[in-house]
Structure 1
């Protein structure tokens, strides 16, 4: 739309600015794969009560906006996910956009301009074809990592250059010997047969007139390396390959395109093997000197072969894997000469060493999460993962680090051959580089440690996909784990695009009948350790990731387009469950994983929980039906909303008729009955009291597994049993959250009793399933944000917030902040004698509602709060 016919509107709100312009692409790359990018922004201003009532977006071909398309004035009070107001972009196009908003005082000034560039949107844009080294094809075991290179000539100074690059496998790509980015393990793990991600890099500064070299090393990664405890290989293909297209604009106006094609050469170097589970083996004596630079003589390298263009090429829209932290660990030399390293925390990454030693000498690094009774690495719980990096030196000083692998560990041992000196040891912490948005602190340092452990577990397991654990021969995208953890994930790190990408693969892998595989991306699992169950189907709680994760994303970020993108997946899953209901409206016919790892379940059968698995399954049918009804309502599907709301009611009634008495015998049973609307309204109070009594009778010990844990504390506080909720939180006996803290945990454990009260580890009892970095039980952090501190969204994306602190236990203060789409919201409270002070900050464009905690009274009217800072004083209610 051209704005020339719009009346000029006088700017009247000079105190408010539009900032933080962004699209739905969070990759950090120079281009996007969205031809009609969704647009978002934030508001800044010191005055209180700022509200957006409307906006106008302009799009132009130049940053001075001499020609514009406009949205016109659009009534809206939200700042997220607005439609592109111009013609769809074509491949390689560049546009500029800006925003102004009408607030309660009038129009703001125009924002600064933001630039958007599109990547390659269609297969016809790719002149390149994947290339591979023929002698590497068909390997059935780890072997030398292929190297690929090509030289090319530029007759003039390069003024612009875009490298579009991906691989079958994982790649490290350089231009003239310099890395094109610090991204790791690109292109990550997706449903490779259907979707392969690529990245677009600005490499202008790496090129020069004359001869240049483009090169890459291609590791097996998830594409061809070991996967699952069966250590299957070649799951997706029997060869790795590089796909690269370099498009260069020269100062003389000409363009040069360099593609992967038959003119490339392939060889091998110092990487003798690289596997995600087993680690990396390098012999520095084998590295061809200067192979990444122009002028290298590659006459004895072999010609490459090409293969067809992969299906589903799409540019990555979420942040890459990177080194996100560097730690200087503690270390000591053991009596046998082994150097023992302690990173001080459980993490995902590797050791980076500086060593000196003669040619042919060796350095071996092994990793583990915990030590055994003799103070040495406990590696048996890694199962088939060797988690070992081996190096052979070429002589003199060298920096050593592995490639195309990662390890989950706190402890490591370094063994060297004679004559080797370890000059420096550092730990690189590796994860998908998501922006931290949530913080929590309180007066109890044990709870703070628990929260920090949750953060580390999310960071360590959000690596390309949301995994269950980062250390053993698994590291899979288990649906049940992220179902339990999604609301916490979305509050602690900006997980929007990361989980959106994962849900895209879930949609692709979903079965025609709506069933959802246990892991995404889907790979053959066979028997599940330690149960030896031949489990190939869907399971309640696990498949419900199809509804819970999109709902959590919408709740946290408020982007209706994202919810709409996954609505069909949500609906297909619910219809699958409906098709499996018995005549009485319950789901009891399928094998289920149930309330997995309920602390009373036999160690060798974690699916045998005290809460009936059929009840749990039926409760989740009701839960997902209600989430789907809410999504349908938000998307304007009125009839569907009514249908699925009715399904929720029917299923809840059926579950209560059949298991009402049983549900009241377990913590999980009560929690699901309350949080999923299974218990009739007239029974909520009695079920809440029953749950509280169960907690008291168990001396505050937790009695829930993966599916019950996220809901037990909210169930208690929603029925007025704050004291019992804090009793559960602050319990230090096994099983319990603070028991893990007391035993020295730095990440969340898979099993409540992973370390016994005497400090020993019962490896035999735990069988083959014992991880010390599993985030599922970290779902407790949602309750810390929303109830302990009292910061929760009432409307999607925190457009309206509820400030509802619930002091309890021995806590005397708590605070939380979350960088919402509107800006940072925070709440902090403290108790002194009989006074409760609450400080809150609401970002511009939002409003809030204060909920007074039971037992306290405010002398002020605080029901509705505008944006800005607020200080509330409450006094304890005294009873005569």
Structure 2
């Protein structure tokens, strides 16, 4: 029985308001896939020290809340991830909900209501079936993009219309010639045999009484286009297809449903090819004029063929890919007449052009991240990706933009045939449209440039899945890259639903024995770099994304339900690694990628790092066991918590017993020993000093690869060696973060030394594994937030916060802010002489503590911080 609402409780906290009501669905779509949405909100108000002690949620069929179902008074100080108090939503059902909270003063007023509408929640709700153009089936190379259309009549004015749509491939769907959204590359990339995402759009305003047309172009995308450096095709199927269901309610009370079936017609147009790696080719002379509008003559088109309903249909719950920025690039003309384009920064996206010329005139656009020694595009490192868009004009002025593709580039070259003039060029930057939540700035512009590079690399690689790179014939969801970067990702952009979706596929693709594939979604990688031992198909650090990414999400956003949803995957991975431990308690039985791209590793064998890969693997077993134990404790699984805490202890002891001496000889070895709890408590100080000594001996140059880099700066500052941490950060010699900045980097590089000190590009040693947009080394930004600025969460979702700035080197100021689930928390500090001034602001519902730098103290002792603004002045 539902507890009744406490209407007798008067409003006594009039200064605090409940705002920003939201569910765990961040799609921005009109409907949600969640029958029992998890509920969150925020508090606003100027009164300092606001704390939530309890809440009440009401759910009703309309905004009057007559007959509302209530959660009753629920004791909780959290504003995130609360259960739906009413019965589950049925497909298409609409409900309204509102919240009030009891603070330290009393009850607030009710929030403004929020609306929630359910999508199609059951397979039985779909009367539509996927349809395709029969002549397109079995195509083994990029070819004409299929077009599909259907006309229908509406006998009265539409008052409500929902379009549920997805595709096998990527689609661009329209109603009466107008696009249903600005979203790109829908439905993204998932484990297609098990999970296919769809979107729900409100298309009421696109319809009218009388004749209407529903249409779509369906490109190959990830479903059947090229994948991996082997450029395999048809990985998931040998035809693209559209699945659409339009449900319309009319003013006279009638309904009309239009579904994809064999009444649809299919043909081809001017889009002659579209591939994610290769680009697109379009001949405007072949465009069937008006094919998206009612009245088009499609009698010569083919009758569509029907496919079975795909498994795992669910609505997308994370933000889509969109154009998130438009840049006006710098243009110049090369001696041969080619137009050279410089976007000013390395981006993921496409070029938009306006060109004028005769019918049959051509425009060709090629892309690259960097230029060669002759100032032309360096395309060899793109390997098999052509990254080329081609257009043939129909005569006159035309707006040109590729479809169903994207490129990673800073530079481009535009070749136009005689008589063709390119009149306008702009760069459309594409990315998953995640909300930016983090900011960082300091007094050193080089560090600011480094931070901006991190942001660009995340934006450019969070496209459908978290990829390694956006430019060459790869663009895969490598688990090791996101394992390294997840904490930074979660502080810079709101990555919760995006990575939650990716983790869902990780759980689906996880092997029965618990092994985690190297890339998610899992595709055949074929040959990998040479290994000295048989490769087991998974590797430490990469598979540990199964534990690290859910932990990062929980720490950043406080959603315990998310942790519970991925707990089985976390446990299966840890059990897999535990089952591979030798009799001495270490993992040395199969090949590892290890501290990949350690700068001392041979360029031709990036897995041969200076830190023993078996030590690294064993350390990660201990690390994931500890993360799993913490998750089990959060979820009330006390037996598991004890079991995996014991696994951490045993494995850490075994690793230290076997490799304690070796670990102290490398930066990665020391960092993992400190951050993973490998070094015994009595030896931690000595290990910290060993790490600091290694940094000093190496003149501040970094000596870590993908697995060591995220932990080396936290290990230094955590062991009291702030000076050495800053020396590592601010080093401008190769290898180092600022070395890349001073060489003109605008995104993070895959290799520390991708460009030599003399400015040339090392393609001889590195070969074609040379990306200039890889976010893994951008893990440094987590330390910028947490140690330089001094802003970090001490409980999930930033309910409690630590303000602990650590000024160092020549920095005279730094600031950071993060839009947390509770609101924006910020800190800014500046140094003048021997005085450190710290300004901090905490949002309502949170508390904090201030930890001053060593040797500084405040005239007024600081104990705890409540919500509101604080200024702290410290002197030595």
Q: Same fold (TM over 0.5)?
A: yes
Distance in 1, matches of 2:529 and 2:697, equals 33
Conserved? CA contact 1:59–1:98, under 8 Å:
yes
Q: Which residue of 2 aligns with 1:848?
A: 848
Q: 1:437 to 1:276 in 2, by over 3 A?
A: same
Determine helix, strand or coil for the equivalent of 2:62.
coil
Written as runs of structure 1 = structure 2, the 5 A alignment for 1:738-753 is 738-753=738-753
Instruction: Report the secondary structure of 1:575's partner residue.
Output: helix
Query: Is 1:436 aligned to 2:436, yes or no?
Result: yes
- Is the CA contact 2:859–2:874 (under 8 Å) kept in the aligned structure 1? yes
Please name the residue that 2:292 is paired with: 292
Aligned mates of 2:433, 2:219 — CA distance in 1? 21
1:794 is the counterpart of 2:794: yes
Aligned to 2:247: 247
Report if aligned partners of 2:534, 2:590 keep a CA contact under 8 Å in 1.
no
Other-structure match for 2:266: 266
Which whole-Å deviations, capped at 9, do the CAs of 1:362-412 have from their partners, x for residues lacking one?
A: 000000000000000000000000000000000100000100000000000
SS in 1 for 2:748: coil
- Conserved 8 A contact 2:534-2:591: no
Secondary structure of 2:769's aligned partner = coil
Aligned counterpart, 2:22: 22
Looking at structure 2, the residues matched to 481 and 810 of structure 1 have their Cα atoms a distance apart, in angstroms, of 31
Contact 1:146/1:218, CA 8 A, preserved across alignment? yes
CA–CA distance in structure 2, aligned partners of residues 699 and 614 of structure 1: 28
- Checking the alignment, whether the CA contact within 8 Å between 1:526 and 1:534 is kept in structure 2 is no
**1:200: which partner in 2?**
200
Residues 371 and 346 from structure 1, CA distance in 2 versus in 1: closer, same or farther, beyond 3 angstroms?
same
1:528 is paired with a residue whose SS is coil
Q: CA deviation at 1:861?
A: 2.0
- C-alpha distance in 1 between matches for 2:222 and 2:276: 8
Q: 2:472 matched to 1:468?
A: no
Superposed CA offset, 1:427-451 (max 9, x none): 0000000000000000000000000
Task: Report the 3-state secondary structure (helix = DSSP H, G, I; strand = E; otherwise coil) of the residue aligned with 2:409.
Answer: strand
SS at match of 2:41: strand
Distance 1:532 1:655, change over 3 A: closer
Structure 1 partner of 2:159 = 159
Which residue matches 1:379?
A: 379
Say whether the 8 Å CA contact 2:5–2:70 is kept in structure 1.
Answer: no
Counterparts of 1:509 and 1:853, CA distance in 2: 46
For each residue in 1:632-652, what CA deviation from the matched residue of structure 2 results, as whole angstroms up to 9, or x when unmatched? 000000110011001000000
1:527 Cα deviation (Å)? 1.0
Contact 1:530 1:604 in 2 (8 A): no
Partner secondary structure for residue 342 of structure 1: strand
Q: State the number of aligned residues.
A: 876
In 1, Cα distance between equivalents of 2:223 and 2:674: 43
1:831 and 2:831 matched: yes
Partner residue of 2:523?
A: 523
* Mapped partners of 1:679, 1:387: distance in 2: 48
The match for 2:764 is 764
Shift of 1:762: 1.3
Deviation string 1:734-786 (CA, Å, 9 cap, x unpaired) is: 00000000000000000000000000001111112000000000000000000
Deviation string 1:599-623 (CA, Å, 9 cap, x unpaired) is 0000010000000000000000000
Aligned-residue offset at 1:863: 2.4
Aligned partners of 1:527 and 1:535 also within 8 Å: no
Contact kept, 8 Å, 1:530 with 1:768, in 2: the verdict is no
CA distance in structure 2 between the partners assigned to 1:532 and 1:284 by the alignment: 53
**Residues 232-286 of structure 1: CA distance to partner in whole angstroms, max 9, x if unpaired?**
0000000000000000000000000000001000000010000000000000000
Contact map agreement 1:529 1:768 (CA 8 A) in 2:
no
> Counterpart in 1 of 2:679?
679
The answer as to whether partners of 2:453 and 2:748 remain within 8 angstroms in 1 is yes
Return the alpha-carbon distance in structure 1 between the equivalents of residues 356 and 726 of structure 2: 54
SS at match of 1:786: helix
Q: Distance in 1 between matches of 2:856 and 2:78?
A: 34
8 Å contact from structure 1 (residues 528, 534) kept in 2: no
Task: Please state how far the C-alpha of 1:577 moved relative to its aligned partner.
Answer: 0.2
1:862 aligns with 2:862: yes
Query: 2 CA distance for matches of 1:553 and 1:871?
Result: 30
SS at match of 1:107: coil
The answer as to 2:374 corresponding to 1:358 is no
Separation of aligned partners in 1, 2:664 and 2:576: 28
Distance 1:530 1:443 in 2: 45
Distance 1:535 1:43 in 2: 51
SS in 2 for 1:686: helix
* Correspondence for 1:113: 113
1:240–1:533: structure 2 CA closer, same or farther, 3 Å change rule?
Answer: farther
Q: CA shift at 1:80, angstroms?
A: 0.2
Whether 2:765 is the aligned partner of 1:783: answer no
Offset of residue 5 of structure 1: 6.9
Indicate the residue corresponding to 2:312 in structure 1.
312
Question: Is the alpha carbon distance of 1:801 and 1:302 closer, same or farther for their aligned partners in structure 2, counting shifts above 3 Å?
Answer: same
CA contact (8 A) 1:526 1:535 kept: no
* Counterparts of 1:4 and 1:864, CA distance in 2: 37
Q: Is the 8 A contact 1:851 1:863 kept in 2?
A: no
Q: Structure 2 vs 1, CA of residues 352 and 529 (structure 1 numbering), >3 Å: closer, same or farther?
A: farther
Structure 1 counterpart SS, 2:816: strand
Cα displacement (A) at 1:66: 1.3
Quote the offset at 1:492 in angstroms: 0.1
Tell me, what secondary structure is at the counterpart of 1:426? strand
Q: Secondary structure at the match of 2:386?
A: coil
Partner of 1:661 in structure 2? 661
Shift of 1:227: 0.1
> Are 2:211 and 1:211 equivalent residues in the alignment?
yes
What secondary structure is seen at the aligned counterpart in 1 of 2:657? Answer: helix
Deviations 1:553-604 (A, max 9, x none): 0000000000000000000000000110000000000110000000000001
In structure 1, the partner of 2:508 is: 508
The residue that corresponds to 1:642 in the other structure is 642
C-alpha separation between the residues in 2 aligned to 1:102 and 1:633? 28
* Contact in 1 for aligned 2:443/2:811 (Cα 8 Å): yes
- Report the Cα offset of residue 857 of structure 1: 1.3
> Secondary structure at the residue paired with 2:553?
helix
**Alignment deviations for residues 646-684 of structure 1 (CA, whole Å, 9 cap, x no partner):** 100000000000000000000000000000000000000
Q: What is the CA distance between 1:2 and its match in structure 2?
A: 5.7
Cα distance between partner residues in 2 of 1:229 and 1:638: 45
1:4 to 1:467, Cα distance in 2 relative to 1, 3 A: closer
CA-to-aligned-CA distance 1:501-526 (integer Å, 9 cap, x gap): 00000000000000000000000001
Distance in 1 (alpha carbons) for counterparts of 2:501 and 2:292: 33
Separation in 1, partners of 2:70, 2:270:
56
Checking the alignment, whether the CA contact within 8 Å between 1:196 and 1:312 is kept in structure 2 is yes
Q: Deviations over 1:103-159 (max 9, x none)?
A: 000000000000000000000000000000000000110000000000000000000
Cα distance, 1:530 vs. partner?
Answer: 7.9
The answer to whether the 8 A contact 1:688-1:721 is kept is yes
2:4/2:71 contact within 8 Å kept: no
> Which residue in 1 is equivalent to 2:39?
39
Q: 1:796 to 1:5 in 2, by over 3 A?
A: closer
Q: How many Å apart are 1:794 and its aligned residue? A: 0.1
Contact kept in structure 2, 1:730 and 1:738, CA below 8 Å: yes
Match of 1:706 in 2: 706
Q: d(CA) in 1 for partners of 2:577 and 2:217?
A: 45
Partner Cα distance (1:84, 1:537) in 2: 41
Structure-1 separation of matches of 2:469 and 2:171: 23
Corresponding residue of 2:179: 179
> Is the CA contact (8 Å cut-off) linking 1:531 and 1:604 kept in structure 2?
no
**Residue-by-residue CA offset, 1:851-877 (whole Å, 9 max, x unaligned):** 11112111222121000000000002x
Distance 1:460 1:703, change over 3 A: same
Gaps (5+ residues) in structure 2?
none
Separation of aligned partners in 1, 2:123 and 2:29: 20
In structure 2, do the counterparts of structure 1 residues 533 and 405 end up closer, same or farther at CA, with 3 Å as the change threshold?
A: farther
Q: CA deviation at 1:209?
A: 0.2
Cα displacement (A) at 1:4: 5.5
User: Deviation above 3 Å: which 4+ runs of structure 1?
Assistant: 1-7, 529-536
